[in-house]
Amino acid sequence: MHFHVITLFPEVCQTYTDSGVLGRAQKTDKGRGAKVRGKKIQVSYYTPRDFTTDKHRKVDDKPYGGGPGMVMKAEPIIKAWEKAVGRKRDISKVKTLIMSPRGRSFTQSCAKEYVQKYDHLVLICGRYEGIDARVVEALGAEEISIGDFILTGGELPALSIIDATARQIAGVLGAHESLEEERATTGETYTRPEEFIYKKKLFSVPKVFVGGNHAEIEKRRQQ
């Protein structure tokens, strides 16, 4: 899958997507027997400032009807979108999302749906008082929310959606991690040492996890 992020702060996002699991998923490597493994995902960035026409590269303006703050202009965002996916022959394989606290709630089911239906996911990150509402209609975009709270920009929601969606792509995670994700567990996990003392109190791993009875361990995790 190819993720396209439209943001005024690409450097903020890229530090995250170039690291860890997401960073590895963007690299081509050689497997056993010198077999070449292709990239599992791609992440590209586009800043609306590159698509402005005035010398100040202005991307925002005062809202019609009055009110506080500034609103991101539609045209630079639309031009950035065209640069990203506007020439794709099969536009049905493109999903465009606008980060918004008023949008549909993003869930694990959404992540799976995106992987199954689309090859390109465009994530538009707003700033200031939001984005000109005409962008939704012009691009056939969907507003999406990661929770009932307000952030200063759409970058963190976009990164959350990329992370959650990329995990659903075959090969991004190993088989073990993928299996664990599908299991309804308490999330209760432990590692070495078996015991440690903090503020004179002994903290121990529950005996069921060190006893070797896998049926009992599974039962505990399903509670």
Please tell me whether residues 14 and 100 are part of one structural domain.
Answer: yes
Please tell me whether residues 56 and 146 are part of one structural domain.
Answer: yes
Please tell me whether residues 158 and 130 are part of one structural domain.
Answer: yes
**Residue 74 clears pLDDT 90, i.e. is over it:** yes
Please tell me whether residues 101 and 155 are part of one structural domain.
Answer: yes
Please tell me whether residues 169 and 192 are part of one structural domain.
Answer: no
pLDDT of residue 163: 97
- Going by pLDDT thresholds of 50, 70 and 90, the confidence category of residue 179 is very low
Please tell me whether residues 107 and 12 are part of one structural domain.
Answer: yes
Please tell me whether residues 173 and 202 are part of one structural domain.
Answer: no
- Going by pLDDT thresholds of 50, 70 and 90, the confidence category of residue 129 is confident
pLDDT of residue 90: 87
Please tell me whether residues 205 and 131 are part of one structural domain.
Answer: no
- Going by pLDDT thresholds of 50, 70 and 90, the confidence category of residue 218 is confident
Please tell me whether residues 107 and 189 are part of one structural domain.
Answer: no
pLDDT of residue 121: 98
**Residues for the chain: how many in total?**
223
Distances (CA, A) of 132 to 46, 71, 73, 172: 18, 6, 6, 35
**Residue 106 clears pLDDT 90, i.e. is over it:** yes
Strands (E) in the chain, as ranges, are 2-6, 29-30, 36-37, 42-46, 60-61, 71-72, 94-105, 120-124, 142-145, 195-198, 201-204
DSSP state of 63: P
Domain of 142: which CATH number? 3.40.1280.10
pLDDT of residue 169: 95
Please tell me whether residues 91 and 36 are part of one structural domain.
Answer: yes
Please tell me whether residues 190 and 173 are part of one structural domain.
Answer: no
Q: What is the domain range of residue 194? A: 185-222
Please tell me whether residues 111 and 140 are part of one structural domain.
Answer: yes
pLDDT of residue 177: 54
pLDDT of residue 144: 98
**Least confident among 45-49, 133-137, 175-179:** 175-179
Exposure string over 68-82, b if 16+ CB within 10 A, otherwise e: eebbbbbbbbbbbbe
**Residue 187 clears pLDDT 90, i.e. is over it:** no
Q: What domain count does the chain have?
A: 2
